[in-house]
Structure formats: C-alpha cells, structure tokens
Amino acid sequence: MDTRLLHSFAALARTGSFTAAAAELHLAQSTVTVHIRTLERELGTRLFDRLPTGALLTESGRRLLGRAEDVLDAVARLRADGGGGGAVAGRVAVGTPESLCATRLPHVIAALRASHPEVDIHLDAAGTAECLEGLRSGRLDLALLLEEEADFPDVTTEPLAHEPLALVCAPGHPLAVPAQEVTWADLAAESFFLLEQGCSYSDALESRLLAVPGARPRLTRFGSVDAARSCVAAGLGLTLLPLTTVEEQLHQGRLVRLGGPRFADVPVRLARHRRRWTAPAAQAVAQELVRHFSG
C-alpha cells in the first residue's frame, strides 16, 4: 500500500477538512481527494462521511486510524534508522501555554538553530485541553503543560521546572499599599482579569475566590496574557500570571506585586503521546527543553 494514502488519511482525520489536510501536506486538494477515494477502494469501506461542515470519520475510519498511525510510525522509524547518521532534520510541532511561548521558548529555538539548524519548530499557543487533543490526534509532537496534576492514560509527562506566580495590580490600585497584607476577603471583592478556562492556576484562583462567603468578585477571562496584563496595568483590576510574564512591567513600575495569599509555583511538564514514536527531530527538541528548564 502507498503510504502517501495513509498520510492523507491521517491528515484528513486530524483536520476534518480536505482543504486543511491539503495545506498541511503541501498537496493540491484534488490529490488528497484522490488519495482518500483510492484508499477506500483498496480497503473496501467508506472511511469518511462527506458533510457540509467537513469530513467526519466513519466507524470503520475510527477503527483503522490507530493502525494507520502505527504503520506511519513504523515507516518513520525505518527512515530514521536508515538515515546514515546524517543531520537531524524535520518539522516539530510543540503546543505550549502562551506565557511560556512568549518568555521561555525563544531561547530554546535560538539554541536549536545553533545545534540543529535543519530542525524546524512550529509553536502552537494553546491551553492544556488543546495540547492534549493535539498530542492524541498527532497534530502535535510535544507539548508543555502548566499543571499541578497530570495523570492521563494516553499521554506521558515529565516535570521540567516550576514557574513562580505573581499576583499583581497597578501602582494606584487601592490594595497596592506597602506592607499591607491582603486577605482572601479583600480579593473576593475585586475585579480580576484571568486567562481563559483550562488555565490551571487561573481556574484554581477563581474557585478559591468564589469559595469566600458572600464573595462577589468580577471575573473576566482572556485568551491572551497581554490582554489581561494591559487591563491590570490600566488600573482596572488584578491578575495572577507567571512571574516571567510581568517582570518587565514590575521593573518599569507599571505593575506591583501584592502582599497577601501565597500561590504555589506551578509545575512545567513536558508531554508526549504514550504510544507514538518520538522522531529524532522531536527528540532533539525535547532534550533542548529539558536542558533549558533545568539550567
């Protein structure tokens, strides 16, 4: 069987769109269509339902997807083993929270360009749920998670480091009084600009605030660190973010840290699919991530 058919099958299963699959594979959409029809004819079953909203795997397609990915992994292993010891090369997709994408990953990319110039890293700023979905679908090779707990049956994780958190506000905020010890009751009456649902430390802070008797905090969730940070710098409320994302603003005096409840550092975990093979290029990226965070 032509493995190009399996590549098109796996890409269409991931994206649910012939157009997106073609773009991912750098093929014409008509070529992907021919690949899927040829594979369905060879296997004697329909793999996708063609719907107005996209391509949806049939029951047969879902059963065959795991086996197809196993075949593609095996082919990739053979090619890597027969590579003759040449330079490590390839595209590696890494899912990562926006805070790490902006502050930590540029240093990793710079180091990899020096040590492995033929490795191309594609960063996908995403929360934990999106990263896990990406690993499971094969869209991502690796992911970084900011999670206290990470027990997933199909995804393995290893701790890399811990990120300190900072509760901050604008210098002119009423709670920004030197030596003032802020209580949970004080915080529960304030406005907060937090990262979107699925951010572990933002979700934990929201739960703690809502647990205060009579609490009426005003909570706004954003998908962007910059948006939350800018609202707080404008004096509109408070936020809880990794210290690395607010260090510059603290140094400039645009933000100040609040004294009060202490927040545990959040673990940074490197995640990959438990069953899927890690290609040499992805392994090089993983090693550089470990080196960076442990350094």
List, for residues 144-173, the tens digit of each pLDDT value.
Answer: 999 888 788 889 999 999 999 999 999 999
Q: How many CB atoms lie within 10 A of CB 173?
A: 19
For residue 32, the model assigns a pLDDT of: 93
The whole-number average pLDDT for the span 261-290 is 89
The answer, yes or no, to whether residue 199 has pLDDT greater than 90, is: no
For residue 255, the model assigns a pLDDT of: 96
The answer, yes or no, to whether residue 241 has pLDDT greater than 70, is: yes
The whole-number average pLDDT for the span 69-75 is 78
Alpha carbons 150 and 170: distance in angstroms, whole number:
34
For residue 81, the model assigns a pLDDT of: 61
Q: Could you give the percent of the chain with pLDDT greater than 70? A: 96
Q: At a CB cut-off of 8 Å and minimum separation 6, what does 226 contact?
A: none
Q: Could you give the percent of the chain with pLDDT greater than 90? A: 52
Say which range, 77-86, 249-258, 259-268, has the weakest mean pLDDT. Answer: 77-86
Closest residue by Cα to residue 272 from 134, 114, 169 = 134
Q: Residue 56: which pLDDT band, with cuts at 50, 70 and 90?
A: very high
Q: Residue 133: which pLDDT band, with cuts at 50, 70 and 90?
A: confident
109 touches 235 (CB < 8 A): no
List b or e across 179-212, with b for residues whose CB sees 16 or more CB atoms inside 10 angstroms. eeebeeebbbebbbbbbeebbbbbbbbbeebeeb
The answer, yes or no, to whether residue 25 has pLDDT greater than 90, is: no
Alpha carbons 97 and 103: distance in angstroms, whole number:
10
pTM > 0.75: yes or no? no
- Name the residue with higher pLDDT: 78 or 139: 139
- Name the residue with higher pLDDT: 276 or 292: 292
The answer, yes or no, to whether residue 88 has pLDDT greater than 90, is: no
Q: Residue 80: which pLDDT band, with cuts at 50, 70 and 90?
A: low
For residue 168, the model assigns a pLDDT of: 96
For residue 172, the model assigns a pLDDT of: 92
For residue 245, the model assigns a pLDDT of: 93
Backbone φ and ψ for 174, nearest 5 degrees, come out as: -55, -30
Alpha carbons 265 and 234: distance in angstroms, whole number:
26
- Name the residue with higher pLDDT: 122 or 86: 122
For residue 155, the model assigns a pLDDT of: 92
Q: Residue 198: which pLDDT band, with cuts at 50, 70 and 90?
A: confident
- E strand map for the chain: 48-51, 54-57, 90-96, 119-125, 142-146, 155-163, 165-169, 191-195, 218-222, 239-242, 256-257, 266-273
Q: Which domains does the chain have, with CATH numbers?
A: 3-81 (1.10.10.10), 90-162+267-294 (3.40.190.10), 165-263 (3.40.190.10)
Q: Residue 86: which pLDDT band, with cuts at 50, 70 and 90?
A: low
The average confidence (pLDDT) of the chain is 89
